[in-house]
Amino acid sequence: MSVHINAKKGDFAKVLLMPGDPVRATWIAHTFLKDYKEVCDVRGMLGYTGFTKNGKRISVMASGMGQPSIGIYSYELYSQYNVETIIRVGTCGAFQKFVNTKDIIIAQTASTDFNWMTDFTLDGTYSAGADFEVLKAAVEEAKKCKSVKTHVGNIFSEGRFYHFSGNSKEPWWKGWEKIGTLGCEMESYALYCNAAVLRKRALGMFTVSDHFQKPGILSSDERAKGLKNMIEIAIRVAEKFA
């Protein structure tokens, strides 16, 4: 057991898919894995290990919301359970007009307004990036999926969901849009930093669930269907690192 995970050593596979929501972790195990077993349940943060239809052993575990939460679980999985690769599979909001809801965004890099890296005395700003091999595999697999459009680039891992813009003339996200950042979520920066510090692999990919410049938000049905495309891609990637 680690501080926040009640699994035994060896219970997790080398590669792990990480949605934010524990219900989604159960759905992924149930829908995509054979012979899976629940390996942890502390605070309802459910984790499972099983086999893909091609017989590759993979795990899935929820991260909860935000960088503090994914920071705890990914650190313990990497450092105490020998997990080598974590693929975050989540949703995000989109900033750019050329992106639509239901598209997939793959985070080559992550930016943040959160103070994750202040622990490290660096004489500069750390650029958090995905593992190149996992990123390459994900882009290749996503391009094969003709029914969904994929974008690759920078994501903003915001430290808070609700922003109070004060006297600013522009909405808070405008600067990120201008600099080309594709959208926002709340976890990948911390995940990439943990992977960097522990010399492991990480990637974040997201179904666009809402848009800052276009109306409409995905219904729970559309969300599930969009996620299904992305999880199929993520599983094919995970198999390469199993």
Which residues are known to be catalytic?
210
Q: Which stretch in 123-131, 139-147, 179-187, 230-238 sits in contact with ligand HPA by CB under 6 A?
A: 179-187
The least distance separating ligand HPA from the CB of residue 17, rounded to whole angstroms, comes to: 17
103 is an interface residue for ligand HPA by CB under 6 A: no
Backbone angles phi, psi at 220, to 5 degrees: -65, -30
- Binding positions for ligand HPA, 190-209, rule CB under 6 A: 209
- In terms of Cα–Cα distance, which of 211, 88, 79, 102 is closest to 151? 102
Instruction: Kindly tell me which of 36 and 212 has the beta carbon lying closer to ligand HPA.
Output: 212
21 is an interface residue for ligand HPA by CB under 6 A: no
Of 84, 131, 177, 185, the residue at the interface with ligand HPA (CB under 6 A) is 185
- Binding positions for ligand HPA, 111-130, rule CB under 6 A: none
Instruction: Kindly tell me which of 47 and 93 has the beta carbon lying closer to ligand HPA.
Output: 93
Of 110, 186, 190, 230, the residue at the interface with ligand HPA (CB under 6 A) is 186
The least distance separating ligand HPA from the CB of residue 94, rounded to whole angstroms, comes to: 8
Of 210, 228, 229, 232, the residue at the interface with ligand HPA (CB under 6 A) is 210
The least distance separating ligand HPA from the CB of residue 104, rounded to whole angstroms, comes to: 13
- Residue 219 — left, alpha, or beta (φ > 0 → left; ψ -120 to 50 → alpha)? beta
The least distance separating ligand HPA from the CB of residue 40, rounded to whole angstroms, comes to: 24
181 is an interface residue for ligand HPA by CB under 6 A: no
91 is an interface residue for ligand HPA by CB under 6 A: yes
SS (H, E, C) the chain: CCCCCCCCCCCCCCEEEECCCHHHHHHHHHHHCEEEEEEECHHHCCEEEEECCCCCEEEEECCCCCHHHHHHHHHHHHHHCCCCEEEEEEEEEECCCCCCCCCEEEEEEEEECCCHHHHCCCCCCCCEECCHHHHHHHHHHHHHCCCCCEEEEEEEECCCCCCCCCCCCCCCCHHHHHCCCCEEECCHHHHHHHHHHHCCEEEEEEEEEEECCCCCECCHHHHHHHHHHHHHHHHHHHHHCC
Of 5, 83, 92, 117, the residue at the interface with ligand HPA (CB under 6 A) is 92
Binding site for ligand HPA (CB under 6 A): 91-93, 158, 161, 184-186, 209-210
